[in-house]
Amino acid sequence: MVGGILVRRIGKSAGIVTKRNLSSRPRLAIVGSGPAGMFACNGLLRKSYFAVDVFENSPVPFGLVRYGVAPDHQEVKNVINTFDNMFQKNRDRLKLFCNVNIGRDITFDELTRGYDAVLLAYGSYKTRQLGIPGSDSKNVISGSEFVGWYNGVPNVPTPDLSISNVVIVGNGNVALDCARVLSTASSGSLKISDIPDDRLAVLEKAIIKDIKIIGRRGPENVSFTIKELREQFKIEEWDSKLEVSEEDQKNLIESLPKLERKKKRLTEVLVKNIGIASGLRQCHFLFHRVPKKIVADSAGQVKELVVDNTENGRQETLECGLIIYSLGYETLVLDGVPQNQDKMIDMKDHCRVNMSLSCPANVYATGWCAHGPRGVIVDTQQQSIFVADQIAADFAHNRKSVASGVGMLLAERKVPFISWDAWKLIDQQERDQGKLTGKIREKFTTFEKFLSK
């Protein structure tokens, strides 16, 4: 049962084809239900006769929309409504199989034998490590762990937020999301979001007064986007400043006329916020700082980060009770999928995977697993619409199929998948629970809750 809901076991009743059916539609398997897979799926269902099975490792769908996008960006999370509509409208030919890991429960080779086409859309989820002495100290966590924790990923350890100084390593949007959530939680503004109650209580009790966001390179190299950057500077009760050298300030200002529009606007925001943070709550943006060593106290908890300041050649010690490092993600290549020399999926062109001629299915890839962990959802959407067009074109004259899916294998292996209907019941329960306290939803945060019998 899922919070009182029966999790469907695979088989005829789950509505999937388990026997060869010569007159059936061409069949596509999508690996991953994040934006990349879902936008491609939406495009494809509109343009083709495909029947689609979506396989998702997590117990619930939609990837980073649920477990990555910050809880104060509900307008971004609303993209889930588009995906919901897609499933509702296409119940006859679109199936969801959450809690199924491709690689563990079903191999990639088995997928290629069960479907006419396979679309890889499994994202990039391996966090780049800090890799310096002391990294294993308590309260040294990756940005994805912290983001996962406040977004309700099941069974994630709780960070200790009863500290006053935090260092965030990294100059991308994930670093800004972490800083913003830490700086705004005590104001009560996240109360109505979908941060799980127990995790919100920890955030609200935090006593953090000082956040340092550090980057290895100069301010001209940040990967922030303007919306997230502005949000940090606007937080009331926090003084957030770019603490840069005169030379960096001069270079930023001089670069302005030469920059293209988007970068120029971002740089203008950076320049406008140069200064020294002061007051009760401070957020310092520091540059040219390379982490060298973490020093822990006698209980093994981080107390200092030692960095090299490559601008003045000095070593500095940054006092901190929590380090969050956000250095980006690495793409893992699923077993059986060809890999290139950069350890990425070996692509033949923008969307087709370079499979051997003996592979029985056409294999495509899109989103972060195909092109690396870059870009916001709109970028991912554009790539995925293109991929959908290509798949539809490749199968324009192929409307019949002998593919039989992987239903038999899931049944034999007794994989307790969570279907679309089961997800909708979970969704409803979470929303109902949230309503009781005026929240968008109260997320389930343990696997047991999703899968309990």
Ligand X SMILES: Cc1cc2nc3c(=O)[nH]c(=O)nc-3n(C[C@H](O)[C@H](O)[C@H](O)COP(=O)(O)OP(=O)(O)OC[C@H]3O[C@@H](n4cnc5c(N)ncnc54)[C@H](O)[C@@H]3O)c2cc1C
Is residue 368 part of an annotated ligand binding site? yes
> For ligand X, which is the closer residue by CB, 32 or 170?
32
Q: Is 121 in the site for ligand X (CB under 6 A)?
A: yes
Task: Output the residue with the shortest Cβ distance to ligand X.
Answer: 34
Q: Site for ligand X (CB under 6 A): which residue of 76, 96, 242, 322?
A: 76
Tell the smallest beta-carbon distance from residue 102 to ligand X (Å). 4
Choices 51-59, 206-214, 280-288, 354-362 (CB under 6 A): range interacting with ligand X: 51-59
Tell the smallest beta-carbon distance from residue 258 to ligand X (Å). 28
Q: Is 15 in the site for ligand X (CB under 6 A)?
A: no
> For ligand X, which is the closer residue by CB, 58 or 282?
58
Is residue 75 part of an annotated ligand binding site? no
Q: Please choose, from the candidates 193, 208, 126, 125, the residue with its C-alpha nearest in 3D space to the C-alpha of residue 159.
A: 208
Tell the smallest beta-carbon distance from residue 209 to ligand X (Å). 24
Please enumerate, as own/partner, the contacts of 332-335 that have beta carbons within 8 Å and a separation of 24 or more. Answer: 332/124, 332/125, 332/126, 334/31, 334/102, 334/103, 334/108, 334/120, 334/122, 335/103, 335/107, 335/108
Q: Which positions from 262 through 321 interact with ligand X, judged by CB under 6 A? A: none
Contact assessment for residue 436 and residue 446, using Cβ atoms and an 8 Å cutoff: no
Q: Site for ligand X (CB under 6 A): which residue of 26, 32, 405, 407?
A: 32
Tell the smallest beta-carbon distance from residue 334 to ligand X (Å). 6
Q: Is 72 in the site for ligand X (CB under 6 A)?
A: no
Q: Site for ligand X (CB under 6 A): which residue of 9, 47, 73, 128?
A: 73
Q: Which positions from 157 through 186 interact with ligand X, judged by CB under 6 A? A: 174, 177
Choices 30-38, 128-136, 190-198, 248-256 (CB under 6 A): range interacting with ligand X: 30-38
Choices 84-92, 97-105, 305-313, 406-414 (CB under 6 A): range interacting with ligand X: 97-105
Q: Site for ligand X (CB under 6 A): which residue of 96, 102, 119, 211?
A: 102
Q: Is 59 in the site for ligand X (CB under 6 A)?
A: no
> For ligand X, which is the closer residue by CB, 372 or 398?
372
Task: List residues near ligand X by CB under 6 A.
Answer: 31-37, 55-58, 63-64, 68-70, 73, 76, 101-103, 121-123, 147, 174, 177, 367-368, 375-377, 380
Binding residues for NADP(+): 171-174, 216-217, 228, 375
